[in-house]
Amino acid sequence: MKVASERDIEALRAIGQVVARTLAEMAAAIEPGITTLELDKIGAAALRKAKARSAPRCVYSFPGDTCISVNEEAAHGIPGERVLEAGDVINIDVSAEMDGYFGDTGATFLVPPEDDLKRRLLETAEQALARAMQAAVAGARLNLIGHAIEITAGNAGFTTLRDLGSHGVGRSLHEEPRFIANYHDPLDTRRLHDGQVITIEPFISTGSSGCRTASDGWTLISGADNLSAQFEHTMVIRDGEPLIMTLP
């Protein structure tokens, strides 16, 4: 999507705030003993209260209102009876539609106690997002986003999940550009445009570079002993810093 009016900005910010608040409510409930389904119900209630619709459920018939992925699960985890335990790494991805506009955000959390590796993994993913947003300027090559993510991950001793990436968003959940790599692709000559609406969502991994799909047909597994972290914002590209729609 390309924004055409202040109304577009206001609507994108409105749904952006809804998904940001929903994510925050879910995060506040994370503790040992809670199930991912119980967390999802908190998210579903928050979306209903805002009169927003879960995007994965209404667009893809996903069997949950949010995606919740734990430890070896990198993305698209189905909420269920899995119980969170001390030391778990949990990613929550919230996307929703309201008044014809979509917002998409996500973050990764640690169930205490944490250790140095897990904390560094999350910090690196957050840094990768910040640096990628700095590179997301109108007129810049799209592949500078992946370059910033890959360099940040490598400097910290981590890898990126190369089969997962960012995407266009706005009037639908996934728009052009359909895939923005989490690594530098020198063959990608596309450029960012003023007013373009995209997500940036680095997937930083302790060692794996790809995922396999679990038997449930949804959950993406990065490896039995692998951990990953993702942070995500929806933003509007400008000549300078992008306008972030999903800040809480």
> Global pTM?
0.97
Range of the domain at 225: 6-244
The total domain count for the chain is 1
Q: Is residue 58 part of a domain?
A: yes
**Residue range 115-150, pLDDT digits in tens:** 999 999 999 999 999 999 999 999 999 999 999 999
Q: Is residue 240 part of a domain?
A: yes
Please check the confidence at residue 20 and state whether its pLDDT lies above 90. yes
What's the token pair of residue 248?
A: 């809480």
Confidence tier at 248 by pLDDT (50, 70, 90): confident
Host H or E run for residue 99: none
Count Cβ atoms below 10 Å from residue 157 Cβ, excluding itself.
12
Find out whether 146 and 183 touch, Cβ atoms under 8 Å. yes
User: Span 213-235, mean pLDDT?
Assistant: 97
User: Span 196-222, mean pLDDT?
Assistant: 98
What CATH number has the domain bearing residue 140?
Answer: 3.90.230.10
What's the token pair of residue 83?
A: 């119980």
**Residue range 48-85, pLDDT digits in tens:** 999 999 999 999 999 999 999 999 999 999 999 999 99
Q: Is residue 31 part of a domain?
A: yes
Q: Is residue 1 part of a domain?
A: no
